Amino acid sequence: MAVDGASRVRRAENGDYGPATEVLLRSRHASVPAIPPLVHLDEEVRAHFVGTVMPVAEVWVAEVDETVSGVLVLNGNWIEQLYVDPDWTNQGLGTAFIERAKVERPEALDLWTFKSNQGAQRFYERHGFRAVGGTNGDNEEGEPDIHYRWAR
């Protein structure tokens, strides 16, 4: 099922960083326990993403009816963040983000996902990503993760 023509993926502007971070927070909270809980307070996450990460990263947002409903952060070939608002999952926004990322980075894409996040693994594998590594918890949350790569 896809959202209608009123949705689009576009580069974020400064004013989108706040709404995009709220989407990220809502998605992270709704994803527990598939994704481990955040180890920082929401306020800290807001300050970090709005003030530090997004101004220097390549940020894309998905809009539905002019409301930011998903966020993708690219850094080099890495997908550093990909979150769709819980109200809008399973409707093709994540697929639209991946298709855009492949256009922007036509050679390869890398990302980390938690081993516990089986829905995301299905999603990435369906889009041609393959597991190429992982750790037993070498991340802030201390939980096992998988390194996925898509290559042209």
Ligand X SMILES: CC(C)(COP(=O)(O)OP(=O)(O)OC[C@H]1O[C@@H](n2cnc3c(N)ncnc32)[C@H](O)[C@@H]1OP(=O)(O)O)[C@@H](O)C(=O)NCCC(=O)NCCS
Q: Under the criterion CB under 6 A, does residue 49 sit at the interface with ligand X?
A: no
Per-residue x/- track, 56-95, ligand X (CB under 6 A) = --------------------------xxx----xxxxxxx
- Alpha carbon dihedral 74, 75, 76, 80, in 10-degree steps, equals -70
Task: Note whether 69 and 26 are within 8 A (CB).
Answer: no
CA-only gyration radius of the chain, Å? 15
Task: Note whether 148 and 130 are within 8 A (CB).
Answer: yes
Site residue total, ligand X (CB under 6 A): 20
CB of 45 to ligand X, least distance (A): 14
Q: Which residues bind ligand X (CB under 6 A)?
A: 27, 31, 34-35, 82-84, 89-95, 113, 117, 119-120, 122-123
